[in-house]
Structure 1
Amino acid sequence: MLGPLLGSGYLLLRDAVSTPRSYLTDSALGLGDAAPRAVPQDALIAVGSTVVDGGLLVKAILLTALWLAGWGAACLARDLLRVSLGPQLVAATVAIWNPYVAERLLQGHWSLLTGYAALPWIALLATRLRARSATAGRAGGLGAWAGPAGFLAAAGLTPTGSLLAGLVALLLVGKRNLPVMAALWILSAAPWLTATALSGAGAEPSDPAGIAAFAARAEPWLGTLGSLAGLGGIWNSTAVPGSRTTFFALVATVLLLALVATGVRAVLGAGTDSESRSGAAAHNLDRTGVRPDDTAEPGSVPDADVESRSGTAAHDPDHTIVPPNDTAGRGSVPDGGSSRDPRHDEARVARRRLVWLAVAAIVLPALGATGWGLSAGEFLVTRVPGAGLLRDTQKFVALAVPAYVLCAAAGCRVVGRWISTMVVDGASAASPRARTGGAAVLFLAILFLTLPDLAWGVGGALRPVHYPAGWQRVAGAVDAPGDVAVLPGGMFRKFRYSGSAPVLDPAPRMLKRDVLQTGELPVRGGVVSGEGERARKVENLLLQGGSANRLAELGVGWVLVEGGTPGPMGESKTTLAQLNPVYADRDVQLYRVPGEIAAHDAAAANRRVSGAAHLLWAALLAGGFLTAAIHSVTRRSVPGEAERESHPDHDNAD
């Protein structure tokens, strides 16, 4: 998927901008005129690029995020369904190889995908905390909370990712753990919550035109609801793989939903009778967890794989929700009286909640694209401060993915049983590996078929670019006070070296001083207004040929002209003639505004408060993952600890 991007160069595609070096400007801390939508993302890259090239850092984060998304989906399926390797691979593929990921890659939302990647992990860890509270009366110590803290912070790289992760965590963690989880979420969201409070920009009402502009979009032959159910439907019709622009979008969506549908009954635990029989048969288990016969019927959740038959499941270092050596059988999730461990019930509750969350994540954005839904959205953004964060409703389809991966994994198990029943005289004649292996290969082939052009950088669209040398010279020259104004007007560019897709202006992340941006977004033939009031005044002044003195009064010390890109220039030549040229080539021209420049920097106290919030977030991110890793290594190094913790009567303090 990321093959072309891993070459030399920088990610510069629509909203994605990476540069060799970026800086801790007021905007990077969320203290500029615009709403803090890229907080703490920009601050992280600014600090990290002092050590590692910024382009390499963004690529590493994106690659790690997608890898973690697949790994987390596999672990979620393993823990909540007790499936073997084949279905786990299916779960991982559903999480990575889908239209949501493809469209967000094409839109340049690499940081949103870090929040997306955290969702299966947060679902898994929150369910574990809930299960431990149910069995031991407490969730565990610091080690049990370290993982959720780290993943909440990772998801908090953007405000939307933070909202997604917080919703999943609070939904699954249970009432006893709700206060602690809520506190962790607030800490993980500290940078953008603090920036919103200090700058005030995020608390301003948003342009109601953004509701219709960013509403979910219907893909060919699907309608809005079908597009969202297929994990597609992004508002930008140009940020879509080619296969989703034809009749094949319908075929691909039907195939994906068919795979998911095969496992819905199993994930919901609806097969009460068959599961009860499975639980009754499990009473014949010996203490090692070996089942004498695989009696579960098609549609039930248990997966007695090769490991359980060999007895190795008695030592399960992953400490899953369902202990392999309890009397209900490895991985069985019986309903009612057949469950002897409350953790069975907690796993079932988590699965059901994820399914209903998926339904809401698909239906509500679809309703939001209707006439009355648009009216309701416009009412919210004009009267509720900060509601503009919700205008891109298709983002929230990410909440459906944990349920999709569980249903696909469970469905793989179900189809494996169907295949063995139809092909072999007696399902028991086929080994568990043979039952699921063939089904897994079939599922994987279908998943790849549904989106063939996701391969190799989404059909080659995701490729690195190289900035002309003039950008580095300009970046080195901007070293005196004063903000930077840019020409042509607008925030998006089409450079000769960046391809045909519009790209967000790289200047704000390339230069040491704040670059004024209006926040106006051209969408679907219209313009959605932004929050940058001072930037709007400066842009109008330049396009009208205003005086250099007025620029200085507005705090502008530099004017950057980006050549070779379309956009309004107006009467700016009149203004530029009053400025001092600093550097010029075919790509960029830099001018210095003469005279005394009025200060418009954020207050020092605000920078300190925002900096402290970012440090808190960074400590939660690094400390959470480091503590979780140390705790895991320490626990597993104690002889017999894994076996004791997987016993139903022992507190599983993973």
Structure 2
Amino acid sequence: MPVVLGLAATALSPATGVMGLLVVLACARGVAGRVRWLALGLALNAPWLVTGLLRGSDAVVDPLSVRLFDAQPELGLGRLGAVLSLGGIWNTEVVPVSRTLFSSAVLVVALWLLVLLGLWAWRRSGGRGLVALVALGVVGVLVALAGSVAPDALGWVVAHVPGAGLLRDGTRWLLLLAPVLVVGGAHGASWLVDRCRTAGPRRLVAAGLVLVPVAALPDLAWGVGGQLKVAHYPQDWAEARERVTQSGTEGDVLVLPFSAYRQPSWNHDRPVLDPLGRFLDRDTVVSDDLYVSGRRIAGEDPRAAEVREVLDGDWTGDDLADLGIGVVVVDGSAPGSADLPFEQLASLRRLGGGEVKVYAVDGASRPSVPASWRVLVPLAWVTALAALVLALAGPALRRAGGGTRPVAGGAARS
């Protein structure tokens, strides 16, 4: 049951769904067991698999993003050192200060010596599952470094193979390396503690070993050294949401300025993906173009591209209505708001607002959804839920019927 629940939890996003499936397949016993776990994993991941297949050729990404999202060097240990310590994130603004200190580099090296000692001790004691665990870690490291080692090859793959964009942000795949550090470090700590003959040294060594990973990243405590703070949405936003709800129009919401990032004062002037679309209670069209180090990464949403093409011209309310846009929300505090086409916005029916203004687009209707989508997407969700229920209830049903075979076939217990 724990394995089933864990696999279901990983299916909440495509990348973690693939990683979760790789883990259970590596740990399963025998061909039959792997086939059963593969079937269960595919069923649990059906919602995003089906939607990805329905999007087809749209599920590709800008090859430039490979170079901009590649692993970054940290700790004075280069890219490899950063990756082996589960770091290297492309967004250097979110890297904790301790990751820039020489002392952290020393502690990371010490941690890896402990891990290697643990892997050696584990191998001497039988090493059951060692090869699978290390193999998964190697896969995670290779994917994390692919954007740096072979950016052109990976760029071609993500630009031409639907779904391969999952490999673009390679450092997220270091989740596959984390179990190596955890299990290897635990075996290493156990081996060192066992070498102590009396209780006093054992306690001292155990306490010191527990502090090694904590000391390597001390500012992870207290919300990254107090950097994580609560941000409260302004009252103007709540009023705008109410106006959108009571607009009486069909269609989706368009947020202007049509850019992905904001830097609101109420969020301590920190850059953030535009939260307005998530704050509203209707489907929202926002730009998914990203700018990293001043370079534009083309978005992946074809509808956003259609809206941008219209906005770049001399648009009218009818043009927006034809795109299924029923409400336009203007964030007056966002960069670029002063350059918006206010004459064209004035042609829309204004519903009010202060810093966040709301306009109604009459004549809009909700975008049509292909019949195949209306059938296959709900079916995918039903498949995932049914697979989860059957996998969880299977052992109890077999016990009630006198059977003993484990759920989904011989997987390693966790």
Aligned to 1:603: 370
Whether the 8 Å contact between 2:15 and 2:166 is mirrored in structure 1 is: yes
SS at match of 2:87: coil
Q: 2:185 aligns with which of 396, 408, 414?
A: 408
- What one-letter code is carried by the residue in structure 1 that aligns with 2:136? L
SS at match of 2:32: coil
Q: Deviations over 1:38-62 (max 9, x none)?
A: xxxxxxxxxxxxxxxxxxxxxxxxx
Aligned to 1:612: 379
In the alignment, is residue 358 of structure 1 matched against residue 155 of structure 2?
Answer: no
* TM-score, normalising length: structure 2: 0.87
Alignment of 1:213-612 (within 5 A): 213-267=68-122, 269=123, 271=124, 301=125, 333=126, 348-370=127-149, 373-418=150-195, 420=196, 427=197, 430=198, 436-479=202-245, 480-542=249-311, 544-567=313-336, 570-586=339-355, 588-594=356-362, 596-603=363-370, 606-612=373-379
- What one-letter code is carried by the residue in structure 2 that aligns with 1:365? A
Q: Using the TM superposition, give the Cα deviation of residue 364 of structure 1 relative to its aligned residue in structure 2, in angstroms.
A: 4.4
Whether the 8 Å contact between 2:65 and 2:168 is mirrored in structure 1 is: yes
Whether the 8 Å contact between 2:75 and 2:81 is mirrored in structure 1 is: no
Q: 1:209 aligns with which of 64, 72, 80?
A: 64
Q: How many angstroms apart in 2 are the aligned matches of 1:241 and 1:622? A: 41
Whether the 8 Å contact between 2:146 and 2:170 is mirrored in structure 1 is: no
Q: How many angstroms apart in 2 are the aligned matches of 1:501 and 1:623? A: 45
SS at match of 2:284: coil
Q: Deviations over 1:599-654 (max 9, x none)?
A: 423236523432332244345556656777x79xx99xxxxxxxxxxxxxxxx999
The structure-2 alpha-carbon separation of the partners of 1:607 and 1:502, relative to structure 1 and needing over 3 Å to count, comes to: farther
Whether the 8 Å contact between 2:104 and 2:215 is mirrored in structure 1 is: no
Aligned residues: 401
Q: Deviations over 1:360-401 (max 9, x none)?
A: 32244224312xx10110121122111111101111111011
Q: Using the TM superposition, give the Cα deviation of residue 444 of structure 1 relative to its aligned residue in structure 2, in angstroms.
A: 1.2
The structure-2 alpha-carbon separation of the partners of 1:240 and 1:653, relative to structure 1 and needing over 3 Å to count, comes to: closer
Q: Using the TM superposition, give the Cα deviation of residue 456 of structure 1 relative to its aligned residue in structure 2, in angstroms.
A: 0.9
Aligned-CA RMSD value: 2.9
Q: Deviations over 1:256-312 (max 9, x none)?
A: 223322312012x1x3xxxxxxxxxxxxxxxxxxxxxxxxxxxxx4xxxxxxxxxxx
The structure-2 alpha-carbon separation of the partners of 1:571 and 1:565, relative to structure 1 and needing over 3 Å to count, comes to: closer
- What one-letter code is carried by the residue in structure 1 that aligns with 2:50? T
Alignment of 1:87-166 (within 5 A): 146-166=1-21
Q: How many angstroms apart in 2 are the aligned matches of 1:229 and 1:190? A: 32
Q: How many angstroms apart in 2 are the aligned matches of 1:532 and 1:179? A: 34
Unaligned runs of 5+ in 2: 401-411
Q: How many angstroms apart in 2 are the aligned matches of 1:187 and 1:625? A: 14
Aligned to 1:191: 47
Q: How many angstroms apart in 2 are the aligned matches of 1:351 and 1:570? A: 59
SS at match of 1:582: strand
- What one-letter code is carried by the residue in structure 2 that aligns with 1:362? V
In the alignment, is residue 169 of structure 1 matched against residue 24 of structure 2?
Answer: yes
SS at match of 1:559: strand
* TM-score, normalising length: structure 1: 0.57
Q: How many angstroms apart in 2 are the aligned matches of 1:206 and 1:411? A: 42
Q: Using the TM superposition, give the Cα deviation of residue 439 of structure 1 relative to its aligned residue in structure 2, in angstroms.
A: 2.5
Q: Deviations over 1:501-535 (max 9, x none)?
A: 22222233333332113321122321111122332
Alignment of 1:13-92 (within 5 A): none
Q: Using the TM superposition, give the Cα deviation of residue 597 of structure 1 relative to its aligned residue in structure 2, in angstroms.
A: 1.6
Unaligned runs of 5+ in 1: 1-145, 272-300, 302-332, 334-347, 421-426, 636-651
